[in-house]
Amino acid sequence: MTCNSENSLAHVHACMPKQPMQHLADKCWSKMASLRVKSEESDKAQASSSSSSNKRPRLSSSVSTLPPASLMSIEEISQARLTLSSILPPSPSDFEVTFLGTGSAVPSKNRSNSCIAISTAAAGPMSRLRFLLDVGEGACSQLYQSVGGNDECFDEALCSIRLVWISHHHADHICGLPMLLEHIHRAQRAKRRRIPATDSAMHASPPRVMVIAPQQVLQYYEYFAVLAGIDDIVSFVPTVNTLYAGSTTQVCQATGGIITRLRSVAVEHCRFSYAAVIDLYSGFKIVYSGDCRPSQSIITAGAGCDLLIHEATFDDSMGADALSKRHCTTSEAVGVGTSMRAKHCVLTHFSQRYPSSSPHQLSLSSPSFPKAAFSTSFDFLRFAYPSQIASLPRTTRLLCDLYDVMDSE
């Protein structure tokens, strides 16, 4: 199966052997089904005529150590599975968000380091284009897996990247950049080799990938690009140039008009840490927090945004750690989203001390949180905005429960 630059969102979905989120759900479903069999066998062995007939069947035997809130009835699981399979197809006016890494510090089995890909549908002669927010270690291999391990789709995805925005200099946000740039260079050369020699227009150099990052990050990567012989495919822009509207034309040109405004906003984390406020051609506004304490600068600059992607490194019991390490707890991140009246907030950048997202799920189940507007991210979670956003909170809560079950094995 092949991809070409004229692909629509729907066609790119069709290119992939399975949607990652659906694949995960299927895998978890199989696990749940096997637990159900074990449970039923156990129930038969201990059958009691009065208790079994009036109670809902539960996945009890293998998950008995989980708190009651994590137990789902067979009916609830079936209903949630139905929801997963009936997610609305994306519309051509959507933008698509793919979480390639959702963990902090070091990669783990379930969560790679920070990387979020945002892409648009192909519209008329415009190709599908992507930009990345942070590029943690393993971002390139995560991108490869996100397109189903298809070499051709992978190269097409690499060639569609126009901009990389890096929030700050910590390793879990920047270490994937060298491999990413080398693969973009390789994919661009391979693409040009496939173009007939007679098509001189197509042989013109592709637009450079714009990398926006704090100066101390750029100092290192500018040397790297020259030494690796790939400095002809990339242009480096210091973040300070995007603090005001001055770089808007530059960013707009680099992204083929998809981003109409990009503004970096200083936040409280390490020195030179920023959040991004991004306006798209379709009128949607996306805000990405990077790493930070709850920041008034984000609330002000991103007020009323369509989608807030906010870090929530710690659960609510670790407020002191969040304060000393200048990160956010779940409640603090949700508080920022509520204060800025974000239409939807997706939490990310979880401490690797949580193999699943139970602590965050418990926080999000608090009656004070508006459940419909908050979701939890997972590696390879992908959704189209706004077509699929209504299903996201319920879907991610289901995945939290399924992760709990898998972790208990």
How near is the Cβ of 100 to Zn ion at its closest, in Å?
17
Rounded Cα distance between 126 and 7, Å, is 10
- Residue 197 phi/psi, 5-degree rounding, is -60, -25
Give residues 186-245 in contact with Zn ion (rule: CB under 5 A).
none
**Contact residue for Zn ion among 94, 155, 231, 291 (CB under 5 A):** 291
Of 94 and 315, which CB lies nearer to Zn ion in the complex structure? 315
Nearer to Zn ion, 139 or 158 (CB): 139
Q: What span, in angstroms and rounded, lies between the C-alpha atoms of 107 and 173? A: 11
Based on CB atoms, which residue is closest to Zn ion, 170 or 360?
A: 170
Closest separation in Å from C-beta 294 to Zn ion: 15
For CA atoms 176, 192, 252, 392, give the dihedral sign. Answer: negative
What residues contact 37, with CB distance under 8 A and at least 6 apart?
none
* Cβ distance to Zn ion smaller for residue 107 or 386: 107
The upper half-sphere exposure of residue 327, i.e. CA atoms within 13 Å in the direction of its Cβ, equals 23
- Name residues contacting Zn ion, limited to 298-357 (CB under 5 A): none
Beta carbon nearer to Zn ion, 36 or 170: 170
Give the shortest CB-288-to-Zn ion separation in angstroms. Answer: 13
**Closest Cα partner for 103 from 172, 24, 29, 202?**
172
- Fill in the DSSP letter of residue 147: T
According to DSSP, the β-strands at 161-165 and 130-135 are parallel
- Residues that contact Zn ion, how many (by CB under 5 A): 2
Query: In the complex with Zn ion, which residue's Cβ is closer, 291 or 315?
Result: 291
In whole angstroms, how close is the CB of 313 to Zn ion at the nearest point? 9
116-124, 139-147, 291-299, 309-317 -> range binding Zn ion (CB under 5 A): 291-299
Considering the complex, state which of residue 101 and residue 386 has its C-beta at the smaller distance from Zn ion. 101
CB of 79 to Zn ion, least distance (A): 39
Tally of CB atoms within 10 A around 180: 20
C-alpha distances in Å from residue 312, one per residue of 90, 194, 372, 395: 28, 44, 18, 19
Sign, CA dihedral 144-148-153-157, equals: negative
The tokens describing 290, both together, are 């990077």
Contact region with Zn ion (CB under 5 A), list: 67-75, 287-295, 364-372, 374-382 = 287-295
Q: Is 292 helix (H, G, I), strand (E, B) or coil?
A: coil
- State the Cα torsion 351-355-356-357 to the nearest 10°: -20
Stretch that binds Zn ion, among 40-48, 74-82, 290-298, 356-364 (CB under 5 A): 290-298
Minimum CB–partner distance for residue 168 and Zn ion (Å) = 6
Residues 146-185 that bind Zn ion (CB under 5 A): 170
The candidate with the shortest Cα–Cα distance to 365, out of 341, 397, 329, is 397
Judged by beta carbon, residue 36 or residue 168, the one nearer Zn ion is: 168
Smallest distance, Zn ion to C-beta of residue 327, A:
8
Distance CA 306, CA 386 (A): 9
Residue 409 beta carbon to Zn ion: minimum distance, rounded to whole angstroms: 32
Question: Can you give the binding site for Zn ion, defined by CB under 5 A?
Answer: 170, 291
